[in-house]
Amino acid sequence: MNSFKKGILFTTLFASLVFTGCSNDDDSDDLIGNWIKKSSFDGPARSSATSFVIGTYAFVTTGYTGDEFLKDLWTYNSTGDYWEQKADFIGVARSSASGFELNEKGYIGLGYDGTNKLKDFYEYDPSSNTWMQKTDFAGTARYSAVGFQVGGKAYFGTGYDGNYLKDFYQYDPTTDSWSLANGFSGNKRRNATVFVIDDKAYFGTGINNGAYQADFWMFDPATDVWTRKRDIDQDTDDDNDYNDDYVILRSNATSFSMNGLGYVACGESSKSIWEYNPTTDIWLERTPLEGSARTDAIGFSINQRGFVMLGRTGTSYFDDSWEFKPLEEQNDDDN
């Protein structure tokens, strides 16, 4: 059994222990938010895919079916609610890669091909439907890192190269070069998640040597400063009861932002979703995903609309797609 499959087995077993008794499904009727099933993904069901958004289109590529690493590219038309296949990714097939959008082009790099940790890096131009290899990532080869663009600057960071990591690198498309970004004071981790609100990145969750990470951070690209926000675990200080009911700790989650709020969803055996308000630094639980609980899903937002799709539970891989409506009441009859 290769290390990737061993990692899946460990994560599944570990998650079943950690999340037992943590589900709030019994209380979901009291939560706000509704999920609408959208057009199913046209490619093979998969987990650990990578995505980026350009305009009103989301682009989804790479991933793992349980038997095969993938390199096909699909675009989701959010206006028409349908999928189209585009030019295959030109790098080696992989999972657990990282990506971002920058200047209306998509970028994919890093990941794991079943044998090797990777550091190659590629640019996709939607206007010509073509890929071009760019300068390799400057850090170590790794997988399960985060990628994001904020304030016109793009970054890869954290992940796993045989060691859990906490470094961040910035990519400059003008010079096609990477530079080490300003220091991050948080803990090392892989399988974290990040979302962007008002040109600031919010980063958290993930796992380090078997321990879920509770620290949560905001990054401001204008100053290159990381600021620690309130932790996302349950509070043990009786004087501060703002997060007594938090059950946010997880890895392999997905996230997106819309209308000035951030959302972290799923991860391991969870289907819960939590809403973050950057003004109050407070999280609220919303109606859990109406599809199956899942890990290694992808999430993104298009024009203030949030989506979650794909992923897996154990050896079951998904091709379903869901849109989250945070202001609507949950409705059992609309799917």
- Quote the CA–CA distance of 53 and 99 in Å, as a whole number: 10
Sort 321 into a burial class: Cβ within 10 Å, 0-12 / 13-18 / 19+. Answer: buried
| 74-82 LR contacts (CB < 8 Å, sep 24+) | 74/41, 74/42, 74/43, 75/126, 76/39, 76/307, 76/321, 78/302, 78/303, 78/305, 78/307, 81/38, 81/39, 82/39
Q: If you ran DSSP here, which 8-state letter would residue 42 be given?
A: S
**pLDDT score recorded for residue 182:** 86
CB-based contact 78:125 (threshold 8 Å) = no
**pLDDT score recorded for residue 22:** 42
**pLDDT score recorded for residue 24:** 44
Q: Is 6 helix (H, G, I), strand (E, B) or coil?
A: helix
- Quote the CA–CA distance of 289 and 274 in Å, as a whole number: 11
Q: Is 175 helix (H, G, I), strand (E, B) or coil?
A: coil
What dihedral do alpha carbons 101, 121, 174, 177 form, nearest 10°? 130
**pLDDT score recorded for residue 5:** 45
**pLDDT score recorded for residue 127:** 98
**pLDDT score recorded for residue 51:** 98
This prediction has a pTM of 0.90
In 295-335, at which residue ranges do the beta strands (DSSP E only) sit? Answer: 298-302, 305-309, 312-313, 316-317, 321-329
CB-based contact 170:154 (threshold 8 Å) = yes
Averaged pLDDT, groups of 10, the chain, 335 residues long: 45 40 52 97 98 98 98 98 98 98 98 98 98 98 98 97 98 98 92 98 97 97 96 71 84 98 94 98 96 97 98 97 96 87
CB-based contact 204:213 (threshold 8 Å) = yes
| CA 65 to chain CA mean position, Å | 18
Contacts of 151 (CB under 8 A, 6+ apart): 199, 200, 220, 221, 222
**pLDDT score recorded for residue 197:** 98
- Quote the CA–CA distance of 12 and 10 in Å, as a whole number: 5
**pLDDT score recorded for residue 9:** 41
Q: Is 114 helix (H, G, I), strand (E, B) or coil?
A: coil
**pLDDT score recorded for residue 28:** 58
CB-based contact 289:35 (threshold 8 Å) = yes
**pLDDT score recorded for residue 126:** 98
**pLDDT score recorded for residue 26:** 47
Q: Order of strands across the sheet with 73-77?
A: 50-54, 57-61, 73-77, 82-86
